[in-house]
Structure 1
Amino acid sequence: MDAGLQQSHAEHFVQQQELSAPGICPEMLEVAEEACRAGDFDLAVEIYSSQLAELRQPDRGLCLRKAEALTRSGRISEALDSYRAAAQVRRLRPDELRLLVESIARAVRVKELGEAWKPSGSADDSDEEEQQQPLDLFSCRLCRCLLTDPTTLECGHTFCKRCLEDPAVKDCKSCRSKTTKMNANSLRANVVLSSLLEKWFGSESKSRRCWIEGERLWKKQELSSALEKYNKAVELAPSMYKLLAQRAELHMDMKNFSHAIQDGDSMCRLWPISAKAHHIKAKAFCRAGRKEEALQEYFFCVALKPDWTSVKMEAQKVLCEMFSSVFEDDSLDTPLHPLQATGPVPRIKPLSLLSSLHSSLPRDGARAGCSKDLALSSSKACDGGGSSSLNQPEHSLDDSKSLAAVLSSLPVPAGLKRKSPGDANAFGPPSKVLKQDPACSSHTPPALNGSREVPTQLLDSSDMECSLCMRLFYEPVTTPCGHTFCLKCLERCLDHNPNCPLCKENLSEYLSTRGYNKTFLMEELLQRYLSEELEERRKIYEEEMKELSNLNVEVPIFVCTMAFPTIPCPLHVFEPRYRLMIRRAMETGTKQFGMCISDELKGFADYGCMLEVRDVKFFPDGRSVVDTIGVARFKVLTHGQRDGYNTAKIEYLEDKKVEGEELTELLKLHDSVYDQATAWFTSLKDNMKNQILSHFGHLPAKDPDLQGNPSGSAWCWWLLAVLPLESRAQLTILAMTSLKERLVAIRRVLIFVTRKRPR
C-alpha cells in the first residue's frame, strides 16, 4: 500500500478515536452531520461548540468539523479560531485547508466580480486563458505569437517556420490536411508576407526574434545570455503577455526573485483578471520566502480559476505552513523554506499571527438560532479552556504582513467589477485597488495575445502586387520556394517552364500535384485593408472572363486536325498556348473551343467544328489528355490571336431544310447511301473493323427525323471520319449546308473506295 495512503488511513483512525473520547456524544455529532448535509451549518456549529464546551482539552477532529461548518456558513474569522485550535493539538495538513482556501477565494470572487460572473478554465490548464483568446490575422495558430518567418503550406495556411519544424507538427492546425515537406531544407518563408510584417510591426518583429533566440539559449542553459535577449525583447515590446511570463520564469530559474516579482506585477497590472499572471507572481513571492504575499496572489488565482487544482494545493500548503509557524519556537523566526532573495524577506511572528486574524476579520458572532452565551462558550472551549493565545499581548510584526492582514486586506486587481455595498458577504475583505500600468492607459486591458492593426500610413497597394502582371494580387498562391503570384499568372508561367519565375527553383513536384491553393492570409489582408482596390481588380478579371466566354465574338481555335459533329476527338495537349486555351475554356464554364486544320496563307482554314470538353487528365509535367466531342460546325468570319493562340469570329452552319418532292427524293437518297455505307463497313477485314470500332464506335442508326439536327444525320459524320479521305476533301464536305449534296459526295467516295479495294 502507498505510504501516503497508509498515513491517511492512520490519521483517519486517530480522528475517529478522538471523536469517541469521553464527553463527546455520538448522537449529537450525527445530528450535526445531518444538519451539514441539509445546509443548516449554524445548527451544526452550535452542536460542535456545545460538545467542545464539555471537554477540558480541545479535540482536534471536532475543532476541524466546527471550522468546516463555520467556513461553509461564511463565518471565516470564527473558522480561523477553530483551525488554530486544531493546529495547537497537531500540525494541520494542506488537504484539511481545502475548504478554507475555496471559501476565501469565493468570497473575493463574489464581492469583486459578482455572483453572475462565470470562472473560466478547466483543472490544471495554465495556458487555457491564452488559448481562449481570439487571434488576429498576424498571429501564428501554433505558437499564438506574431508570425516570424511566415511559411505558407500547400493548403494555403501560414505558420511560423520555426513552429512547422517541430517534429510534433504532422498536419495543418487550421484545416487538418496532412502537411508535406516538413523539414528545414524544404520549408521557405513567404517572401511577401515576411516583408509586410517587418514593415508593419517592426518593433514587435525584432522583439520576437530576440525572444526566440533567448529561448534557444535558455535550452542550452546559457542563462545570462538568454536573459539579455529577453530584456531586449521586452524593451522592444513591453506589453506582451507570454514574453513577460517567460522572462519571469527565467528570473526564477536564475534565483532573481525580485525581478520575477516585478514581471509578475507588470502582468497583473496589464491583465488583472488573468489567473496565470497572479500565479506567476505568487510563485515568485513563494520562492522568495514572502509567504504572506504569495498567499494573497494564490487567493486571487483560485478566485479567478476555481478548478485549477494544482494551484489550489499550493495555496493550501502555504496557508498550512503559516498556521504551523504560529506554534513553533520564536528562534525559528525565519521562512519555512529559506531561498536566496534579492530583497528583504518578511518574518512571521508566531503569537501575533492568529491574534491579528481574530481582531482583523469581521466576525459573525451569534447568528439566528445561536445564543450569545453559547457563542462565547464555544469560543472559550476552542481556545483550550481559557489558555488561548488570544489573551496574550499582541506582538510587533516588524512591518511584515500577518496572515490576518493577507485575508483582511486583499488588494483587488484593477478592472474588476465591484458589487454594491449592500451585496457584500459576511466575509468581506476591503479592496485595495492596484494602479493601472502607465503602459496601458486605456480602460480595456490589452488582449493576452495582442490585437494588431496595420498603421494606415504604412499601407501601400504596391506592396501587394504580382511581380508577373504588375497588378494587385488576385487569387494569390504561394510556391514552395516562398514566392507569391496571381494564380492565373503562375499557371501561365508553368505552362512554359516548370521553374519559379523569380528564383528559377524547379517546381515540377508542385506542378504535378497542382496544389494551387489560395494563400488565405494574403487574401484576408487584401479584403480587409485594400477592399476597394481588390473590388476593382475583381471587376477587371470578371470582364476578362466574360469576354473569353463569348463564343460568338472571340472563339479560341485549336489548329490541329479535322473534327466532326457528334464524333469524339481525343487530344494530347502539350504546347503552352493550348494549355492556356484549354484552362480558360474550363474556367469560363463554356468548355468549348473551335478545331480547324491549318492553312498556309491564313493560318487556319475558314471552316471548322466546335468541340466540347468532356474530361481532362493532367500529367505531372503539365501535359494533358483532353476528351472532346464535336457539337457544331462554323464558318470563320475573321482571324485573330490572343495570348499566343488563334481566335476567330464565327457564325454557325445549319443544313437547309427541304419540303415536298425534294424531301421525298432526299429520303430515298438517304436510305440508299446508308445501306451502301453499311455494306462497305461489313465488307472490311476484321482487324480494320476492330480499329474503327475501338476509336469511333459502331455506325450510328438512321435518324427518324432527317432534318431535326442542324448538322444532319450523325452516321454521315461517323462515315466521313472513318473513310480514307484527305483533310481538304473532308473540309469541303464539312462546309456543305445541303444534306443532299453531302450524301451525293459520300456516295461517290464509297463507290471509289469500293472499286479500289484489292480483291
Structure 2
Amino acid sequence: MELGGAPSGGPCPEMLQVAEEAFRGGQFALAAEILGSQLAELPQPERGLLLRQGDALARAGRMAEALESYSAAARLARLRPEELRELAESFALTIREKELRLPARPGPGGGGYAEGGDPLGDPACCRPPELLGCPLCLRLLCEPVTLHCGHTHCKRCALHGGAECARCAARRPAPGSGTAAQPPACLRVNVVLGSLLEKWFPDESRARRLCAEGDALWERQELAVALEKYNEALELASCKCSLIAQRAELCTSMKNYQQALYDAEALCRNKPHWPKGHYVKAQALSGLGRIEEALKEFLYCVALNPEWSSMKMEAQKIMCEMFFPAFENVHDSLTAPFCNRTSYTRLKPAFLSSINTQSSAEDVLAEESSKETILRITKTPSQETGVFRNTDSSISHHILDLYFEDKKTLGTVLSNLPGASLKRKFSSDVRDIQNLDVPSKIPRKDGNSTCANSAALPLKVIPANLVDASDFECSLCMRLFYEPVATRCGHTFCLKCLERCMDHNPHCPLCKEELSEFLASRTYKKTILTEELIVRYLPEELSERKKVYDEEMKELSNLNKDVPIFVCTMAFPTIPCPLHVFEPRYRLMIRRCMETGTKQFGMCLADELKGFADYGCMLEVRDVKFFPDGRSVVDTVGVRRFRVLSHGQRDGYNTANIEYLEDKKVEGAEYEELVRLHDSVYDQAVAWFTSLKDNMKAQILNHFGSMPGKEPEPQSSPSGPAWYWWLLAVLPLENRAQLAILAMTSLKDRLIAIRRVLIFVTRKRPR
C-alpha cells in the first residue's frame, strides 16, 4: 500500500493514523517505529510526536528509549505530570504482571486488585460477616442505627453520610414532611442489633467503638488522645490490619513518619495485595523525604488498582520531577507532601543504566558506570523479591528498586512520640500488631502469626451456639419477630404488634417516646437486617411463626364466619358510606380488613339487647386517609346485604357469622307486573326529587351523588336496582323503617313500601 508523502516540513498524516491504529491495537513497537521514522524526517522535532513516541516505547517495555523521547519533549516545553500517564501505567503494569503475578487487567467486578472492594477498604481478613457490615465503611456495624428505609448503618457513618441511605439511596425524610422523620441528631442505636453485636462479637464491638472514638478525636485534632484510642482498639481487635493502617495515617498527620513507616511496612509485608498498605507507606516515605521509595509504593497502588487515578497522578508528579528536573517542571503544582524537594538529577544515570532494553554494549557500559550510584541505595529485606528484576530477556525491571538508606531503631521512634504514655505503648508494640510481621530490628514478644495465616477468624462467622431465638422475640406478643420494624427510638417490634399498640397510644410501648408521625404516614419499613438474620439463622422458627400468621390471616379473611362488624349507622348496597374512625378497636378492625386483602366488613345498627341488629350491609373500603393522631377517614361503598346468624367479638370489636341475602326472582305474569310497578315507582321518585327545593337537592347530591338511572332489567342484581337504594338512603325515614326494608328479599314488597313512603312525604310537604 502506497501512502502519500508528507507535506513539506511536517509529518505524514496517513502514517500518523497508522501509528495510532497500531497503538490502539497493542502493537506498540510498530507505533514507536512509525513515529520515530516521522520524527527523523522532520527538520525540527515536534513535541507532540516525541511524547507519543515515548508513550509507545513505554508500552513496549523499552523504558530507556521512552525516557529519551520524554526528555527531548521536555527540552522543547515544560513537561507536565499528566503527560506521563502512559509511563506510569507501564511501570505499574510491569509490577502487576511480573512481581504480583496478577492478570494484566482486572476481572469484571474485581475492583481492579486482588483484595476486591474499595481501594482504601479493609482486606478480606478484616471484613465482617456478610450481613453485619455497614454499607458505608464496610466494617462491623458500630452503634447500629436503622434508617427510615429499613437499612442499617453505623451511627457515625449515618451522621456523616448525608441525607441518603448508602444502600438504596432513599433520602432521609425531613422533619414535618408527614413521614417518619429521622433528623441526624435524633438517630438512636437499634437496641436489638446492638445487643446481638455485643453478644456475638464482644471484643470486636468494643474495638469498633474505640476506633470510632478515635476517629472523632482525630477530626477535632486531638491527635494524641486519638492515638491512645487506636492503641486500645488494637488490643481487642481480632484482625488488626485496618487499625494499623489507621494508626499509620494518624502518625503521618502527627508528622511521626518513622512510626507510620514502621506500621505501613509491616502491612505491606503481610498484605502485599492490599492497596491501602502501600498507600500509607507512600505517605510515610514522602514525609521522610524518601521520594524514590514513595514512588515505588504509589506504583504498587496503581498496579493493584489500575483505576486509582489519584495515586497514578502522584506517581506521575514524582517521575516528572525525578527524571526531568532540569526544567523545573512541577514544583508549583505538587501537593504538600511533595513540595520543596531537592533535585534528583543524580538518579537519572542509574535509572537509564537499569533499564537495559536492547542489551547493547553502550547500555552495558552505562550500567557499569552507574553501579556506584545504585550501590549507595540500601535495600531492606522487603526488596529481596526484586520488583523490577529481569524476568524477560528484553526487559530489566529493577528501575525503582530503591529503599531507605538507614533504618531507625525503636528508640528513635520513641523519641519522636508525644508523651511518655505513648512511648510505653509503642515500646511494647506486642499488643498492637501481634498479628503483623515487623522489621527484625524491632523486638517482639508474641511470635510471627499473621491475619492471613490464622486458622480461624472469629469475625468472619457468627457463632452458631450464640444464636438464640429469644434474642429475636417481640416484647409485645412474646413471639419471634414477624415483619420486624424499628422505631426511631431504637426499639424493635412486630409490625402488627406495633400498629395495634399505637391504635391506643401514639408512643413507644417500651420507652414512651412519641411516635405520632408513624400514624400519619403508615409507611412502616421492615428492618431488613433483623429479618435477614432471622431468615438465615432461625429458618425453622420463622417457618412456624409464618404458619401461625397465615392461619390468623386465613381466619380473618373468611367473609362468612367471624366477619368484623362496625356498629354505627345504616348502609345500603351501591351507596357510598364515608366513616370517621377514631376508636382503637375499629382502627384495628379496619387495618385487618386491609391486611387480609378482603377490604370488607359489615355495618349494622346498634341494638340495646343484642349489641347490633340482625341485618346489615357489607361495606368495601375504597380509600383510607390517616391523620397524625391515629384517626382516619375511610371511604367505603355498600356491597351486599346479610343476615346475622350469631353474634361474637374479637379483640374488642364485634363479629358475626352471617348469610347473604338475595332477592327472590319472579317470572311470567308476576315479572311483567313487577316491571310495571318498577317503572311507576321510579317515575314517582324522579318527580318527588325534582319537586324539592334547590338547596335541599344540592345537599343530597353533594352527599349521595346523582340518582342512578332506571335499569332495563330490575332483577339483574341480587339486591335489586341501584336507584332504589339511593332513594331509600335520601328519604326522611327512621333507621328502624330502613332496616325493615333492607331485610326484605322481595323486590315487589320493597317497591310497594317505598311507593307508600313517597306518597306520604309528597302529601306531607308544605305547599
How high is the TM-score relative to the length of structure 2?
Answer: 0.74
Query: Which sections of structure 1, spanning at least 5 residues, go unmatched?
Result: 1-25, 51-62, 326-336, 340-347, 366-374, 413-418
Distance between the aligned counterparts of 1:159 and 1:284, measured in 2? 32
Residue 264 and residue 715 in structure 1: after superposition, are their counterparts in 2 closer, same or farther (change >3 A)? same
Whether contact under 8 Å (1:558, 1:596) holds in the other structure is yes
Whether contact under 8 Å (2:553, 2:596) holds in the other structure is yes
Distance between the aligned counterparts of 2:194 and 2:482, measured in 1? 19
Q: Which amino acid aligns with 1:426?
A: I
Question: Which aligned pairs between 1:527-566 and structure 2 lie closer than 5 A?
Answer: 527-566=535-574
Whether contact under 8 Å (1:706, 1:713) holds in the other structure is yes
Partner of residue 140, structure 2: 146
Whether contact under 8 Å (1:555, 1:647) holds in the other structure is yes
Q: Of residues 119, 125, 141 in structure 2, which corresponds to 1:129? A: 119
Judge which range, 36-45 or 648-657, deviates more: 36-45
Distance between the aligned counterparts of 1:248 and 1:221, measured in 2? 16
Q: Which amino acid aligns with 1:427?
A: S
What CA deviation, in whole Å up to 9, does each residue of 1:666-725 have, x standing for no partner? 344434433443444344344333333332334434332232222223333233222322
Distance between the aligned counterparts of 1:561 and 1:27, measured in 2? 98
Question: Which aligned pairs between 1:634-649 and structure 2 lie closer than 5 A?
Answer: 634-649=642-657
Partner of residue 705, structure 1: 713
Whether contact under 8 Å (1:165, 1:183) holds in the other structure is no
Q: Which amino acid aligns with 2:95?
A: V
Q: Which amino acid aligns with 2:98?
A: K
Q: Which amino acid aligns with 2:721?
A: S
Whether contact under 8 Å (2:642, 2:661) holds in the other structure is yes
Percent identical across equivalent pairs?
57
Distance between the aligned counterparts of 1:66 and 1:754, measured in 2? 106
Question: Which aligned pairs between 1:148-547 and structure 2 lie closer than 5 A?
Answer: 148-166=142-160, 169-173=162-166, 174-181=168-175, 183=183, 185-237=185-237, 239-290=239-290, 293-306=293-306, 308=308, 311-312=311-312, 314-315=314-315, 364-365=358-359, 375-376=360-361, 378=362, 390=368, 400-401=378-379, 409-410=386-387, 426-427=395-396, 438-441=449-452, 452-547=460-555
Q: Of residues 94, 106, 122 in structure 1, which corresponds to 2:93? A: 106
Residue 254 and residue 238 in structure 1: after superposition, are their counterparts in 2 closer, same or farther (change >3 A)? farther
Residue 752 and residue 94 in structure 1: after superposition, are their counterparts in 2 closer, same or farther (change >3 A)? closer
Distance between the aligned counterparts of 2:673 and 2:33, measured in 1? 118
Distance between the aligned counterparts of 2:154 and 2:456, measured in 1? 27
Judge which range, 486-495 or 692-701, deviates more: 692-701
Measure how far apart 1:489 and its partner are.
1.2
Judge which range, 710-719 or 306-315, deviates more: 306-315
Other structure's SS at 1:533 match: helix
Other structure's SS at 1:597 match: strand
Other structure's SS at 1:637 match: strand
Whether contact under 8 Å (2:621, 2:635) holds in the other structure is yes
Other structure's SS at 2:560 match: coil
Other structure's SS at 2:580 match: strand
Distance between the aligned counterparts of 2:578 and 2:135, measured in 1? 47
What CA deviation, in whole Å up to 9, does each residue of 1:176-225 have, x standing for no partner? 32433564542222221221222222222211211122223223333322
Whether contact under 8 Å (1:409, 1:431) holds in the other structure is no
Partner of residue 742, structure 1: 750
Residue 460 and residue 562 in structure 1: after superposition, are their counterparts in 2 closer, same or farther (change >3 A)? same
Distance between the aligned counterparts of 1:457 and 1:193, measured in 2? 17
Residue 623 and residue 362 in structure 1: after superposition, are their counterparts in 2 closer, same or farther (change >3 A)? same
Other structure's SS at 1:189 match: coil
Distance between the aligned counterparts of 1:137 and 1:714, measured in 2? 57
What CA deviation, in whole Å up to 9, does each residue of 1:374-420 have, x standing for no partner? x44x459xx7xxxx794699699588239xx96982399xxxxxx9x
Partner of residue 54, structure 1: none
Q: Which amino acid aligns with 2:191?
A: V
Residue 276 and residue 205 in structure 1: after superposition, are their counterparts in 2 closer, same or farther (change >3 A)? same
Residue 179 and residue 445 in structure 1: after superposition, are their counterparts in 2 closer, same or farther (change >3 A)? farther
Measure how far apart 1:547 and its partner are.
1.3
Cα root mean square deviation, aligned: 5.0
Judge which range, 622-631 or 236-245, deviates more: 236-245
How high is the TM-score relative to the length of structure 1?
Answer: 0.74
Distance between the aligned counterparts of 2:186 and 2:647, measured in 1? 47
Q: Which amino acid aligns with 2:562?
A: E
Residue 649 and residue 286 in structure 1: after superposition, are their counterparts in 2 closer, same or farther (change >3 A)? same
Distance between the aligned counterparts of 1:669 and 1:636, measured in 2? 30
Measure how far apart 1:575 and its partner are.
1.0
Residue 580 and residue 720 in structure 1: after superposition, are their counterparts in 2 closer, same or farther (change >3 A)? same
What CA deviation, in whole Å up to 9, does each residue of 1:617-645 have, x standing for no partner? 22222212222222211111111111111
Whether contact under 8 Å (2:568, 2:605) holds in the other structure is yes
Other structure's SS at 1:606 match: strand
Residue 208 and residue 658 in structure 1: after superposition, are their counterparts in 2 closer, same or farther (change >3 A)? same
Partner of residue 608, structure 1: 616
Q: Which amino acid aligns with 1:129?
A: P
Whether contact under 8 Å (1:245, 1:263) holds in the other structure is yes
Residue 464 and residue 291 in structure 1: after superposition, are their counterparts in 2 closer, same or farther (change >3 A)? same
Whether contact under 8 Å (1:199, 1:458) holds in the other structure is yes
Partner of residue 342, structure 1: none
Whether contact under 8 Å (1:474, 1:486) holds in the other structure is yes
Q: Which amino acid aligns with 2:521?
A: T
Query: Which sections of structure 2, spanning at least 5 residues, go unmatched?
Result: 1-8, 23-28, 41-49, 176-181, 326-336, 402-435, 439-447
Distance between the aligned counterparts of 1:451 and 1:633, measured in 2? 63
What CA deviation, in whole Å up to 9, does each residue of 1:157-190 have, x standing for no partner? 2222223333x71233323324335645422222
Residue 43 and residue 492 in structure 1: after superposition, are their counterparts in 2 closer, same or farther (change >3 A)? closer
What CA deviation, in whole Å up to 9, does each residue of 1:264-322 have, x standing for no partner? 13332453223332122233234335556545434433433456565456556767888
Other structure's SS at 2:132 match: coil
Distance between the aligned counterparts of 1:445 and 1:117, measured in 2? 32
Whether contact under 8 Å (1:700, 1:714) holds in the other structure is yes
Larger radius of gyration: 1
Measure how far apart 1:241 and its partner are.
4.7
Other structure's SS at 2:131 match: coil
Distance between the aligned counterparts of 2:613 and 2:264, measured in 1? 82
Distance between the aligned counterparts of 1:353 and 1:445, measured in 2? 49
What CA deviation, in whole Å up to 9, does each residue of 1:429-448 have, x standing for no partner? 6999x9897333459999xx
Distance between the aligned counterparts of 2:204 and 2:231, measured in 1? 13
Distance between the aligned counterparts of 1:224 and 1:215, measured in 2? 12
Residue 109 and residue 425 in structure 1: after superposition, are their counterparts in 2 closer, same or farther (change >3 A)? farther
Q: Of residues 568, 583, 593 in structure 2, which corresponds to 1:585? A: 593
Residue 665 and residue 121 in structure 1: after superposition, are their counterparts in 2 closer, same or farther (change >3 A)? closer
Other structure's SS at 2:699 match: helix
Measure how far apart 1:111 and its partner are.
2.0
Distance between the aligned counterparts of 1:227 and 1:716, measured in 2? 84
For these two proteins, the number of residue pairs brought into alignment is 669
Whether contact under 8 Å (2:323, 2:347) holds in the other structure is no
Whether contact under 8 Å (2:266, 2:437) holds in the other structure is no
Distance between the aligned counterparts of 1:742 and 1:678, measured in 2? 17
Residue 107 and residue 602 in structure 1: after superposition, are their counterparts in 2 closer, same or farther (change >3 A)? same
